[in-house]
Amino acid sequence: MESPLIISRLTEDILACILDRVTDESDRKSFRMVCKAFHRVDSLQRTSLRVLRLEFLVSLLRKYQRIEALDLSVCPRIDDGTVAVLLNGGGGWWTRRLRRLVLSRSVGLRWIGLGMLVGSCPCLEAVDVSYCCEFGDREAAALSCATGLRDLRMDKCLNVTDIGLAKIAVGCEKLERLSVKWCLEISDLGIELLSKKCRGLKHLDISYLKVSSESLRSISSMQKLEVLAMVGCNIVDDDGLGFLGSGCPSLQVIDVSRCGNVSSSGLISVIQGHKVLLELNAGHYFFELSTCVLQRLEDLKNLETIRVDGARMSDSGFQVIKTNCRCLVEVGLSKCKGITDTGIMQLVSGCPNLRILNLTCCEALTDVAISAIADSCSNLLSLKLESCNLLTERSLACLGSRCFLLQDLDLTDCSGVNDRGLYHLSKCSDLLCLKLGLCTNISDKGLFYIGLNCTKIGELDIYRCMGIGDDGLAALSRGCKKLKKLNLSYCIEVTDRGIESLSHLEELSDLEMRGLLNITGTGLTALAFGCKRLAELDLKHCENISDTGFWALAYFSRNLRQINLGNCAISDVGLYMLMGNLTRLQDAKLVNLNKVSVNGIELALRVSFIRLKKVKLHASLGLHLSPEILETLHARGCKIRWD
């Protein structure tokens, strides 16, 4: 009886201090549901908002008066009309504090709406318009009116040319971070103007642009540039890297991965000119990490991260790294050739601060290497060991007994992993992400250990683990209440009982369950009723689910944004109800629906076209669907993939 009295005595300032210490979003939601006072404090304190359903947007903006960051990337559709409604119906005051705006994948937003937004947000500092397929030079011109802009992401805005980039460069001279990755129409001319106008740029990503070494000559004049990403710039050559080596005095991080026209001499130029480098990314850069490059690493005493994925390594090379790069925190060796136990032992003995290690497809490694890692790297947070088939339960015993801080472990396709190994591994109680796909020697017993001790896990992959069944999923649902992402595709022993166990995972948002032939409408109904946060669901080849399951999905799973129904037994009526009721659905795969007619597909598209951003259809439907619906989808910015 005293509890309400105690709560009533807590002032808003005290409650605000308490709320500041609550970082998990689900916990914050629980906080604001306690009582009206808690709810009010949350409303007053909230500074960021990620809107999931467009129909609530106006009321949310009226409710939260101190919003500084607004994320609209997962709304079904943001267009010029929506912006007009927001600025009028939302009570335009919400724009006065706004500093960060995320509009990525907003396929309907044009220069008029963008101009209205920019003009109404005087404090705007960061904007993300990545993957806005219609974003072009006119939109860039509208955005350039945000003169206080410091952070801009335009990844894969394919219609932006040098003209649009010039508008941004001239109008937004305060820019500090810019990403134009995959903006294929931008050339050397645009980069040259950018380097002249945005002198304060600190972070630049030009990955996959068709630019030459002339762009690097321009970039080399940027005195404040600290981070440069140029992944896949295949026209750039060693001369370009030479320009960087003699310029960019503040450079600390560089990524030259997949630059196919450069050699070791180009990388050496960069290293010689920047001995304060903290991060060097050269994945799939060279066939072999040459001796001359390794010798130059002795200049990089402060290097914290090195990634040389795909290169051939030698034990002597690791000896050089061990001797000269003792500050390393992250090492990436994915798909490297020549990796041996001896080499890894040398590496970790000289890098006691190592926290992230990627050994994907280093197939010659044995338990000896993992034992050395566990002995030397007690602060290890992430370890990737996919396709390391010589590892046994002994490796997991070493990790479980010494790496208690481990959060991310990838054991995909490690055939030596078994239930006993998972028993040892379960002592790593801080695990957040565990990948066990294709580990065919684990069963429900091993999953029981994980569910019992690894209660913080948010992501689990048990793809094609044939020994996993209903009892294993029941153990998971009892212990891993924070599970958000689960892949149990082709775990063929799972039945409706197992799926009903998963329905108790209230935070589950991403579920892959391909090829589960024992699942019926009963299991899907339980899942839909219990997992209200489901946003992505893959049901491909779940061929025995009847319409009753899909009707439940249509009624309860209103947060679904992505669904794969390939080869499902859904009918015309079931598909119509599903596509019509899922008001947040943006991505649908509708291939090989043998019980759905052409007319059924047409009606489903008509009832959902206003929300869809992507749809996958069988190629034969291109000849049978009406030109009207195809033109409408295209006009609304929906991408159709024909299978």
Per-residue pLDDT of 525-558, as tens digits, reads: 999 999 999 999 999 999 999 999 999 999 999 9
Mean pLDDT of 112-132: 94
Residue 550 and residue 574 in contact, taking contact as beta carbons nearer than 8 Å: yes
Residue 249 and residue 219 in contact, taking contact as beta carbons nearer than 8 Å: no
Residue of 610 and 138 predicted with greater confidence: 138
Confidence of residue 92 (pLDDT cuts 50, 70, 90): low
Q: What confidence score (pLDDT) does residue 480 get?
A: 97
Q: What confidence score (pLDDT) does residue 287 get?
A: 79
Residue 162 and residue 186 in contact, taking contact as beta carbons nearer than 8 Å: yes
Confidence of residue 21 (pLDDT cuts 50, 70, 90): confident
pTM over 0.85: yes
Residue 202 and residue 177 in contact, taking contact as beta carbons nearer than 8 Å: yes
What is the 8-class DSSP label of residue 9?
A: T
Mean pLDDT of 336-355: 95
| Res 31 pLDDT > 90 | no
pLDDT tens string 153-173: 999 999 999 999 999 999 999
- Distances, alpha carbon 303 to alpha carbons 274, 325, 580, in Å: 11, 6, 54
pLDDT tens string 228-242: 999 999 999 999 999
Instruction: For residue 367, give the amino acid letter.
Output: D
Contacts of 37 (CB under 8 A, 6+ apart): 7, 8, 10, 12, 15
Give percent of the chain above pLDDT 90.
79
Mean pLDDT of 247-276: 95
Q: What confidence score (pLDDT) does residue 208 get?
A: 97
Q: What confidence score (pLDDT) does residue 76 get?
A: 67
* Choice among 291-305, 405-419, 541-555, 582-596 with the minimum mean pLDDT: 291-305
pLDDT tens string 314-331: 999 999 998 989 999 999
Per the prediction, the chain carries an average pLDDT of: 93
| Res 1 pLDDT > 70 | no
Strand partners, 538: 512, 564
Residue 93, SS3?
helix
Confidence of residue 187 (pLDDT cuts 50, 70, 90): very high
Confidence of residue 183 (pLDDT cuts 50, 70, 90): very high
Confidence of residue 566 (pLDDT cuts 50, 70, 90): very high
- Distances, alpha carbon 406 to alpha carbons 68, 312, 445, 522, in Å: 34, 28, 22, 38
| Res 42 pLDDT > 80 | no
Main-chain dihedrals φ then ψ at residue 539, nearest 5 degrees = -115, 20
Q: What confidence score (pLDDT) does residue 90 get?
A: 58
Q: What confidence score (pLDDT) does residue 8 get?
A: 66
Mean pLDDT of 65-82: 86
Main-chain dihedrals φ then ψ at residue 615, nearest 5 degrees = -145, 140
